Chains A and B, each alone.
Chain A
Amino acid sequence: MNMRELIMNEPAMICLTVGSYLFGVWIRKKSGLSLLHPFLICIPVIVSILYAMDIPCDFYMESNAMVEFMLGPSVVSLGLLLYEHANTIKKYFISIMVSVLTGSIVGIGSVFLLCRYFNLDDLFVKSMMPKSVTTPIAMDLSSMMGGNVSLTAVTVVLCGFIGAVFGPLFIRLFHIAAPVSRGLALGCSAHGLGTAKAIETGAVEGAASGLAIALMGIMTALVMPLMRTLFGI
């Protein structure tokens, strides 16, 4: 009996997922770098362990079906977030909706045009179109379009990382002044990671940004099928 046989089972694989995530959280806390997202640490950790133990990637993914299942319920739970911010929505209803709509159209449209410009094929277009939306929704949208779900997940995280790192710089550069505008900008472009950054800036920014995550998901889900027909993908 060797080591590999002992860990080639479902509980061990789920343990690997959760354990490496917690390891990522621990590293971020120790390093004091708020931008060092646990995801960026745990993915290389899992990949190298699978590689070292010679465990097939498919086996790992199948064993983690239960963990992945939680994505659907986690999207539904965002409804509570909408409920908790209902007052903010009512107060700024039109401006928030227009802003989120603009963000989702620009997000989807720019991916299409930029992919054409950089000669990326349709699989990239389909997988990257929902990239400004929180990961579980983006994955659902991507699989509906026939995109590659893994590519979508990684792109979404990269997107959040870019938004959180460079967002504050561009906000200053372009003089985006109102706190709600700043929150929406971060939430629309960089979902959860952007919101974490927005919360550091202020409570209003954080609330607007959290709101943008849910609204951007809804808006993109509505806009994407239309844009898809428009572009003929």
Chain B
Amino acid sequence: MVIRGFFFILMFLVLGNICSTLSGHFIPGSVIGMILFYLALQFKLIKAESVKAAADFLTGNMTVFFIPASIGIMKQWNMIGSHLIAWLAVTFISTVMVLLSAGLAHDGIVRLGQLVKNKEKK
């Protein structure tokens, strides 16, 4: 039953929103809901099979869900248009920096781990 999976997901969104409100909106309710949902699955409070269909539909069609908000860009076009080059430059440089820092950090730790292991062997 897809609707049951959808109910569970909605329930965790509600729980997440409650936690978010109680903590003074420090973290979005949807993110707290995601963590709680994961924990519920991990501790077998919910069966993965019972939510899979609904969850796959939701994560697989995320793009559709944020189209409406993106159209709001029509109203702000003047603001972006006048800073187009700067906006593109910031996004490009920052994206590449994130890519390299995350990748190199993980590679570094993996190599460090191997080094430690080799030393132990000697």
Contact = CB atoms under 8 A, between A and B. Distances in A.
A221 to B, nearest CB: 5
A86 B100 CA distance: 25
Interface in A96-143: 96, 98-100, 102-103, 106-107, 110-111, 114-115, 118-120, 123-124, 128, 131-132, 134-137, 139-141
B41 interface: yes
A158 to B, nearest CB: 5
A50 B68 CA distance: 12
Contacts of B86: 118-120
Number of chain A interface residues as a range: 35 or more
Interface string B10-48: 101100100000000111111101111110111000001
Question: What is the interface of chain B mostly: helix, strand, loop, or mixed?
Answer: helix
Nearest to B30: A75
A135 B72 CA distance: 14
Contacts of B89: 114, 118
A47 B99 contact: no
Contacts, number: 302
A75 B75 contact: no
A82 B31 contact: no
Interface residues of B, number: 74
Contacts of A176: 100, 103-104, 107
B62 A95 contact: no
Contacts of A189: 95-96, 98-99, 102
Interface in B101-118: 101-107, 109-110, 113
Contacts of A222: 27
Contacts of A20: 67
Contacts of B30: 71-72, 75-76, 136-137, 140
